[in-house]
Amino acid sequence: ERCFPPVYPLPPPSRENKVLAEDLKTPDHHVERDPRLIRLTGTHPFNVEAPLSDLYDEGFLTTKDLHYVRNHGAVPLVNDADVLDWEFSITGLVDQPTTLTLRDLIQTYEQATYPITLVCAGNRRKEQNVVRKTKGFSWGAAGVSTALWTGVALGDVLARARPTRRARYVCFDGADRLPNGFYGTSVRLSWAMDPERGMMLAHRMNGEPLSPDHGKPLRIVIPGQIGGRSVKWLKKIIVTDKPSDNWYHIYDNRVLPTTISPEESADLPETWKDERYAIYDLNTNSAVCYPAHDERVPLPAGYEGGVYKLKGYAYAGGGKRVTRLEVTLDQGKSWTLANVSYPEDLYRLAPEGEMLYGGRLDMTWRDSSFCWCFWELDLPLSLLATAGDVMVRAMDDAMMVQPRDMYWSVLGMMNNPWYRVVIHKEAHALRFEHPTQPALIPGGWMERVKKAGGNITNGFWGEKKAGESETPVAELAP
């Protein structure tokens, strides 16, 4: 017997989209898309995020329509009639190399369904680009989305192929043909075999077959790691003793040391290949969604008794949980705890044996956290009206906290300093200003402060303190 309505969230209805006019002249002329999405790299390839408020308003689960997309090139064309015949191979350091069809995968293996938050390693990169141009394009804070994914545990497929003793990595290749070959990357075999890590070969998203932008008909989905490891249009799984040597594995999704400039990076092959700089687990991050950028909050007569509900999201990586979200109105001198909700935990309450979209929904045994959480805090308008800004930071269960300082690196990745919203006093209203706006959209305090001559990485968001000098000051007398 299944409870209805279920105790856990189901996705909002998705839309019937059309091929958009701007895509007609591109190789993606066969792909239907939602016009609300913000294009971050011109018309093509398709790299998009939703307006932050729209993303937040969809709730815990994001529709395929507003889910962020990161495509490196043209979307492979797969006709509906060919979906079940889609072939992929498992080769390399395995005793039992195989080629399977999607039909085999569905018929032969146990199916599971659970919610997974994907995040692009470039989420919030626009902030880094304002500080100093990176090699990456300008994501705002909506490069993050959550869906119910249905598919097969990667570890189950690998176990049947029987990795050899030397096997250490699992490489994935997609079907997207790019200037430097097919897109490909790798993860550690030990992670792939670990049920707590939840790596999946997915063929459904929110109960529907995958749409072209999300990997139709088959993709890898890796919880807790950057989206760049969740290879779409999956064609090959190769078990190896070394990390992938795919161009995109080496020259993308890395945080090089902050010392390395774009110019220097052009000639450092050994640095690029150093796996210590490859990004796997997400770092801990958060953002304010309400107040939105440019939102105006009226301050009518007698507003002093009123409150404004500050709202946003937070996430951590590697199965870790965000354990607290703190808000400051005095630039970090003091912090207030926000209320955090974990809709993911509602799925753990599903009755034993629950099936969803053809997969087992069995999350009770799993300790790790795969999804974003939401936080909110009622703030008295009287406090907001006297503060210059509001900032938030999350802490994860390894007691790592988002830092005040940005870690700039040449690819512009994993940006996670305190998320700062400036508060402007206007006549009878407060106006809020986020750090940036995505892509080339102007706006945000970072560009404004920088243009006014402020050094936005000085530890005080570019504010000039009276008499501040750029040279180090003398110590207090010993």
Q: Which residue has the tokens 């005040």?
A: 404
Token pair in block for residue 404: 């005040």
Q: How far is the CB of 460 from a copy of itself (least distance, A)?
A: 7
- Residues numbered 189 to 228 that lie near a copy of itself (CB under 8 A) are 190-191, 194, 196
Binding pattern to a copy of itself, positions 260-289, x when CB under 8 A?
----------------xx-xxxxxx-----
Q: How many residues bind a copy of itself (CB under 8 A)?
A: 77
Which residues are within 8 A (CB) of 245 and not within 5 positions of it... i.e. 6 or more apart? none
253 catalytic? Reply is: yes
Which of 5, 259, 263, 442 forms a contact with a copy of itself (CB under 8 A)? 259
- Is 474 a residue that touches a copy of itself (CB under 8 A)? yes
Q: How far is the CB of 404 from a copy of itself (least distance, A)?
A: 5
Kindly identify the residues of this chain, within the stretch 48-87, that bind a copy of itself according to CB under 8 A: none
Mode of pairing for the β-strands spanning 87-92 and 234-240: parallel
Say whether the peptide bond before residue 195 is cis (omega within 30 degrees of 0).
no
**Residues 434 to 473: which contact a copy of itself by CB under 8 A?**
448-449, 452-454, 457, 459-460, 462-469, 472-473
Shortest CB 426 distance to a copy of itself, Å: 10
Counting Cα atoms < 13 Å in the Cβ hemisphere of 220 gives 32
By beta-carbon proximity to a copy of itself, the closer residue of 51 and 318 is 318
Active site residue 120: yes
CB of 189 to a copy of itself, least distance (A): 9
Confirm or reject binding of residue 24 to a copy of itself (CB under 8 A): no
The residue to which tokens 């950057």 are assigned: 226
Contacts with a copy of itself in 333-352 (CB under 8 A)? 333-337
The arrangement of strands across the sheet holding 339-341 comes to 285-290, 307-315, 373-380, 339-341
CB proximity list for 289: less than 8 A, separation 6 or greater: 52, 53, 55, 56, 311, 312, 313
Q: Which of 135, 188, 348, 360 binds a copy of itself (CB under 8 A)?
A: 188
125 vs 216, beta carbon nearer a copy of itself: 125
* C-beta closer to a copy of itself: residue 91 or 331: 331
Minimum CB–partner distance for residue 59 and a copy of itself (Å): 23
b/e string for 49-66 if b means 16 or more Cβ within 10 A? bbbbebbbebebbbbbbb
- Give the chain's length: 478
The count of other CB atoms within 10 Å of the CB of residue 136 is: 22
- How far apart (Å, rounded) are the C-alpha atoms in residues 143 and 185? 20
Question: Of 298-317, which residues contact a copy of itself (CB under 8 A)?
Answer: 317
Active site residues: 120, 252-253
